[in-house]
Structure 1
Amino acid sequence: SDRNFFLFTPMLAEAATGAVEARHVVYPVRPLCGAWGIEFGEMLVEAIDLGRHKLVARHSRSSLRQEVQYDRLILALGARPNVAVVPGVAEHALTFKAAGDAVQIRNHVIDLFEAAALTEDPWTRRKLLTFVVVGAGHAGTELMAALEELTRGILIRHYPSLAADMVRLVLVGSAILPQTATNLAAYTKEQLLRRGIEIETSRATNVSPEGLSLADGRLIPSQCVIWTAGNRVNEVVGDLALPKARDGRLTVNEFFEVEGAPGVYALGDNAAQIDPHSKELYPATAQVALRQGRALAEQLVAELTGRARRPFDFRLLGEMVPLSRHTAVADLRGIKLTGFPAWFLWKTVYMLKLPTLASRFRVVLDWTVELFFERDVSELRVDSEHAA
């Protein structure tokens, strides 16, 4: 992996808005590897030679390269934000996928408030205080709700020259939570509109230094456009000449074996696997990937010890979407919850899903501190103060 830590993505929106410390939703790989006798290399995979059973990798921040021979290869390289779908996204938009993205978003939002406090020009101030999230799926909706709480509920109190009605929040998407039960999506939309969040259904066509352009010809002036509208498979997976689904994921069977590549397996964002119940592809979510990882480990152990393998068969447990301000929506196999009960359930479930006791303690401590004290609004820049 090119990172020496795992990221707990369900809490990424909280990390991006300071509700939890970003370091508390990641946990290091090396202690785990040391305990289990696993050899780890912080390397970026550049190419895979399926014929020779080799891959080429280099250190993620240098030119050091290494060839790795394998007997079995498990592809779990994740996905990347799909920034090529609309012109200007790569150059002028922020992404929301990695821990570094969360830190960058938080710093940028605070920096825009600082800039807005220094100008009295209404148009400039309006542009600085307009925050746009493109993509109204789980990630975009969670982030927009968290941004509303951060900007209008917390930051605004520290800037006497600014008012909450100066902050404009725009969520761009053809539908809110399109894969969620209709009544929960409707509740979510109602909550967002009640908080003064604008919902734009026109398609995004361009991102520039001036803001976001829409298909109907309008421009939303903004210096903060955050792109959550879909992901693409890792480039290394995309380059493999193997059967793939329409979204680029590798076609695998119930044992995660990649079609046309003996000894190669794929998981999560890299695997297009049929749900035997719905006959549709399993969604590329953390819930599915976690179960796939455990199942493949059990299958490989069974194979190596001469036992029969159990095919992967997983029924989705449901979904929960936090909307900040002590509210959420949840659908647990037909049992639907909204408001505070759903929010409390989300907090409890995902706190217990954190990988270590230490990480659970740190996150609960973050939540507890926020109950009694102001949220920290420091802008922690990562650039050197001594840079020219």
Structure 2
Amino acid sequence: MSVEGVHALVRRTHEARVLRVLREHGALSRGQIAAKVGLSRTTLSEITGDLLSRGAVVVTDTDASLRAGSGRPAELLTLDPSSGQFLGVDLGHSRVRVAVADAAHEVTATGHATYAPGTGWPERVAVAFDLIDDVGARRGASFRALQGVGVGVAGPHPAGPAVAEAFRERFGAPVVADNSTRFAALAEAITDGPDLDDVLYIRLAESIDGGLVVGGRLVAGGHGVAGEFGHVPAGVPGAAADPCRCGRRGCLETVASVPAVLRNCRRRGLAVRAAEDLEAALRRGDPVAAAVLDEAADAVGQVLAAAALVLDPAQIVVGGRLTRCWPGVVDRVAATIAERTGTGTGTAVIGSGAGTGGAGAGDRIVRAARLGDEGGALGAIAALYRQTPPPAGYH
């Protein structure tokens, strides 16, 4: 690393320490900050001057009311809750979503943009940058003081590190990158409060993937593919009829993804080409659509039951386009899990639209996802929050 690079790293480290102290203690004078971070007054003056010019911190008051003697009151500095401090990005197969949060961990702006399926990663990143600029302009948000950027990418993909580096170069802030569905799992976990530690999440959409939150932390696995439920053998009759995109046959994705369900409906004579057609068929009570979805839900339930026996999650969350087509999928999945686990622990279904009632003590919760397509971006911000607790005095 060059001398300039070392100096830049040292400066970022000093900035991070100052911002952390302000998060932990709220408004402080420069003297108080210097004492807590162990920096000289001269160095601290340079750091805080730069942070003030970028909008990361603001002068909130003086310590005049606290001073016993005479002398010039000292300015009190605090994080600016109105500036963009955290940025979450979800780079999906055909769209990007972004969310911006302030120093108080409140989401202040969101946005989305589309691109053609199969678009290259550099082009996706370019669309994301344009979207972030647009969101900032519309909301009056500044990204000069970002404390962190979370970037979710669709699927286990070698482009992840390159994408993270592109965001790091653009914003000059620390970047956390992971699978976007794992980020969505974390977002779903904290919808029930910060203390929910163990959640299994599956998303039934154009593909099938998922995520695990264990002990309050995302689990990527030794090879970065933890939660790839779509490529677990479905174990149901007819599952081996179609090859999976992974090259094998019999994967859950060939039975319970949106394309698989549509394909199986057409094989039985129901002309459906898109998820909207499937929804319309279900609304009119079409028996073919109902039967195909029952079979898909049973297959999902069998895979999740095996995972539940191994991992024993407190909650199992089922999300994605398929559950929005037919909320009853969650009930069917829960029933299969209850039948297959048989451990004495009850299974309660909540939030599916047709649930079996509230949960009792000791029940394993199976519920529909509460967040829609924005879950990945919100989860990316949540991953940053785990490293940066909200500042003192914010609620």
Do these two structures clear the TM 0.5 threshold for a shared fold by scoring above it? no
Superposition TM-score, scaled by structure 1 size: 0.25
Write 1 or 2 for the structure with the bigger share of helix. 2
Superposition TM-score, scaled by structure 2 size: 0.24
